[in-house]
Structure 1
Amino acid sequence: MKGIIFQGRPVADAQTFALLPAYLQDFLRAQNGVVAYFGGLHIRGCCQTPAWHNLGAAWNGEQAFWKLYRRVQPTDIPFAQDCVGNQFLLRGDAVLFLDTETGEVADLEVDFKHFLFGIEKFPLDALGMEPLRTFQHQGGVLAPGQLLSVYPPVCIQSATQEPTLKPLPGLERLAYLAAFYAQIKDLPDGQRLQFAPKA
């Protein structure tokens, strides 16, 4: 992987590690999670700290994705995320994509090995890195533990407003996305919205 800005320390959460499939254990044994592509991809590790890197908390903690998003199952492993906080989940051997604004889940039709192969070959497309590339061209830099806030949210069409991009602490960004999803999840497509600007 290129553009590595963070590597996790050796595995420190044996309980979570023991629940993982062998191929993910092998990856985390070699490097216990990583932030690569200058923040374009974050693969979580089995650790206690830093909190934003903690796979066990993302999977089974108070703010676990399956507790917040109706289409995520308790057995789905939220092993990674992109630069804006969308999640990559393992369901069996399949890699799924969770859009954290809308709660939509899509099967990427690849396994973990081919997911890594795809992002190595086509990182910009595979990771949806256009917002990060724009942010970088504006002189911005994402630090480890940060995610990129996009306002207005991507799922809302705005004919007049250019998206505003800014870095936020990752856990704060994920909390905002979950709260946004909770407010719109039962609205029909095309519903007009009016809401106060947030992160």
Structure 2
Amino acid sequence: MKGIIYTGAALTDKELLITLPQELQAFLRQHNGVVAYFGGLHIRGCCAEPAWHSLRAVWHGEQALYKTYDTVLTTDIPFAQDCVGNQFLLRQGEVVFLDTETGEIAPLEVDFKHFLIGAEKYPVDALELEPLRRWQQQGGTLTPGQLLHVYPPVCIAAATDKATLAPVAGPKRLAFLAGLYQQIKHLPDGQALTIKPLQD
């Protein structure tokens, strides 16, 4: 993987590790998670700290994805996320994509190994790096633990290339996305909606 800006420290959550599929276990034994592609892909690790890097926190913790998103199963493993906080889940050995604004799930029809291969060969498409590239062209960077906040949200914006981008702490971005999903999940198409910008 290219553009690695963070590598997880020593494995501390071995109880969680042994519950994971073999390919993911092998990767984490070697790296314990990384932030690669200059923030374009974050693969979580088996650790308690830092909390933003903890696989257990987002899988089994108070803010676990399955507690927010109706489309996420308790058995889905949220092993990674992209630069804006969309999630990659392992579901019965297959990688699925979770749009964290809408809660929509899309099977990617690859396993963990081939997901990594696809990201390596076609990072812009596989990881939807356009927002990060635009942020970099503006002179911006992401530091470990940050995600790009996109406003207005992609699901309601007519022209996403004009959206405002800003780096924010990952948990703050995920909380905003969870709140947005809860507001819109039962709304009919065309319904008016007021969304407050992310507050500092």
Q: Distance in 2 between matches of 1:79 and 1:34?
A: 11
Structure 2 matches for 1:1-199, cutoff 5 A? 1-158=1-158, 162-198=162-198
Residue 85 to residue 91, structure 1, CA distance change in 2 (3 Å): same
Q: Deviations over 1:129-161 (max 9, x none)?
A: 000000000000000000000000000034699
Q: Identity of paired residues, percent?
A: 65
Gaps of 5+ in 1: none
Q: How many residues align?
A: 199
- Cα pair 2:41 2:81 within 8 Å, conserved: yes
Deviation at 1:162, TM superposition (A): 2.2
Q: Distance in 2 between matches of 1:9 and 1:160?
A: 36
Residue 160 to residue 168, structure 1, CA distance change in 2 (3 Å): closer
Residue 158 to residue 31, structure 1, CA distance change in 2 (3 Å): same
Q: Deviations over 1:55-85 (max 9, x none)?
A: 0111000000011100000000000000000
Structure 1 length-normalised TM: 0.97
Partner SS state of residue 162, structure 2: coil
Counterpart code for 1:92 = Q
Q: Distance in 2 between matches of 1:161 and 1:183?
A: 24
CA RMSD of aligned residues (A): 1.4
Deviating 4+ runs (over 4 angstroms): none
Structure 2 length-normalised TM: 0.96
Q: Distance in 1 between matches of 2:161 and 2:10?
A: 44
Q: Deviations over 1:106-139 (max 9, x none)?
A: 1001111110000000000000000000000000
Partner SS state of residue 20, structure 1: coil
Q: Distance in 2 between matches of 1:77 and 1:140?
A: 31
Deviation at 1:194, TM superposition (A): 2.7
Deviation at 1:192, TM superposition (A): 2.6
Counterpart code for 1:114 = H
Partner SS state of residue 157, structure 1: coil
Moved more, 168-177 or 158-167: 158-167
Q: Distance in 2 between matches of 1:116 and 1:161?
A: 27
